[in-house]
Amino acid sequence: MNNMIGHFISGQHITQTQNSGPVFNPSTGEEIARCAYADVAVVDQAVQAATSTNAKKWAKASHATRLQVLFKLRELMIAKTDELAEIIGREHGKTIADAKGEIGRAIEGIEFACNAPQVTKGEYARNVAGDIDVFSVRVPVGVVGCITPFNFPIMIPAVMMAMAVSVGNSIVWKPSEKVPSAALFFADLWKEAGLPDDVFNIVQGDKVAVDAILEHPDIAAVSFVGSTHIGEYVYQKGTSHNKRVASFTGGKNHMVVMPDADLEAAANAFVSAGFGSASQRCMAVSLLVPVGEETANQLRTLIIEKTKALKIGAYNDPTADFGAVISAQSQQSVLKAIDQCVADGAELLLDGRAYEHPQYKNGYYIGPTLFDYISTDMDFYKQEVFGPARGILRVNTLDEAILVTNSHEFGNGSVIFTRDGKTAHRFFMEIESGMIGVNVPVPLPVSYFNFGGLRRSKFGESHLYGPDAARFYTKLKTVSQKWPEPEESDQAISLAFKIT
């Protein structure tokens, strides 16, 4: 194994590094490559490229010129879906079907970025005073630093960077060192689509690269997706260096089920939304919150049966429902959370700790695990468990369900299943979450709506995609303009603060 995965700067693949780390295939536990880790000098090299004359020409390019590249990128993503899905699956562990679904959402984000001219239009007012016209324009912020997580190697980068590039910025991107290959594949697609060299740059690495991005004076804005404690660090450090920062972090998403709901549909939704991608999604349903004992007991029976039927397998097993978790460290973290939940007194309905793949015994697998009688004082309730371990938290009333949901520090997504419109209306008006589902298990909005949580699920006042993302990647200039008649002057001295 001599494969070194490097950086992408000024349109070229480079592998210069003093440090590197292993890249694994989670399905087998095999080390498949090394990833170069950027130092401060490499990050500076990438920023120099992103601030070059070539990159500045992109900022001045017409909307038509930029959109031609976006349209071509979309075509290439569609044509290369199978190849890209294989790369994602091999390094992440998610199934090929799941990877293709992710790519589909990435393409949707690129499509919305083609609306950049529409969502960045300014305002105009004629003759506000003394024949003066006032108008506003949005211009690129400059260099955007992007820091992305392992769980969506292409969707999050695509929706984040397509808009940033579409409105004229250049990019310095640090992907997760656990899934570095999809990033380089994406860079090659941008280049093939006609994006000028220097506009799109990648630095692989760890905290050294992150800090270099957060501290670099020529990076104007930083967009981050990842865990809450790192996201808060990124927000605080980035803003302390006078950067615009949008940081999207963790979730503990509650799914409330009312007695009048279609319980069969609710059970299917919980299992699908709870265990997909080995539960490594910030929008995954973490806790089932049935209202009333009868509702809870019926759902429990249905969910146990459906969860038992799930098949775990390698990323390229077409019969697998979900695959391995990302790393041995992640596997141990989830197992520890399960052990602690057992010690805290929850009832263990399904135990996936002993699961071992019959062919890949070193893979990072955990079987689907389900608890009942979770309570709000348990660590399992308080913490985001990024693996296939889900729980049932019983309540007696809708009031209690709303209180429990709003009491959690995270406010990423919340869901209710009910047939009653008034109940649904009250839920989405009172719940303090950024994304809410009504009979929809994963309330992940389409790309032309804003994505972002509340409370400690988001730091900063922007959104990952949607119209608000275009505003984040641009700065506003307001111009007051007057054109006198030729050879006419009315600029007499006046010290009054005039408004007419």
pLDDT at 491: 66
The per-residue pLDDT for range 43-80, each reduced to its tens digit, is 999 999 999 999 999 999 999 999 999 999 999 999 99
pTM recorded for the entire structure = 0.93
226 and 280 assigned to the same domain: no
* 391 in a structural domain: yes
Structural domain span for residue 261: 253-438
- Rounded distance, CA 184 to CA 153, Å? 11
pLDDT at 467: 84
379 and 236 assigned to the same domain: no
Q: What burial class does residue 272 get, using C-beta atoms within 10 Å of its C-beta: 0-12 exposed, 13-18 middle, 19+ buried?
A: middle
Task: Give the active site residues.
Answer: 282
pLDDT at 500: 56
8 and 114 assigned to the same domain: yes
As a residue count, the chain comes to 500
Do residues 158 and 451 touch, judged by C-beta distance below 8 A?
A: no
Do residues 415 and 404 touch, judged by C-beta distance below 8 A?
A: no
424 and 351 assigned to the same domain: yes
279 and 326 assigned to the same domain: yes
The per-residue pLDDT for range 196-207, each reduced to its tens digit, is 999 999 999 999
387 and 269 assigned to the same domain: yes
Do residues 19 and 357 touch, judged by C-beta distance below 8 A?
A: no
For the chain, count helices (H), then strands (E). 17, 23
DSSP three-state, residue 319: coil
pLDDT at 125: 94
Round the average pLDDT of the chain to a whole number and report it.
Answer: 93
230 and 296 assigned to the same domain: no
Question: ∠406-408-413 over CA atoms, to 5°?
Answer: 70
Given the DSSP bridges, would you call strands 143-147 and 221-225 parallel, antiparallel or unpaired? Answer: parallel
If phi over 0 gives left and psi between -120 and 50 gives alpha, with beta otherwise, what is residue 47?
alpha
pLDDT along the chain (500 residues), means of 10: 88 89 97 96 97 95 96 98 98 97 96 92 90 93 97 95 96 98 98 97 97 98 93 95 92 94 96 94 92 97 97 97 96 97 97 96 97 96 94 97 92 92 95 89 78 78 83 93 78 69
Find the DSSP H helices in 114-227.
116-119, 155-166, 181-193, 207-215
Q: In CATH, what number is assigned to the domain containing residue 192?
A: 3.40.605.10
Find the DSSP H helices in 288-447.
293-308, 328-343, 379-382, 398-407, 421-430
Q: In CATH, what number is assigned to the domain containing residue 360?
A: 3.40.309.10
How many domains are contained in the chain?
A: 2
146 and 221 assigned to the same domain: yes
pLDDT at 484: 84
239 and 267 assigned to the same domain: no
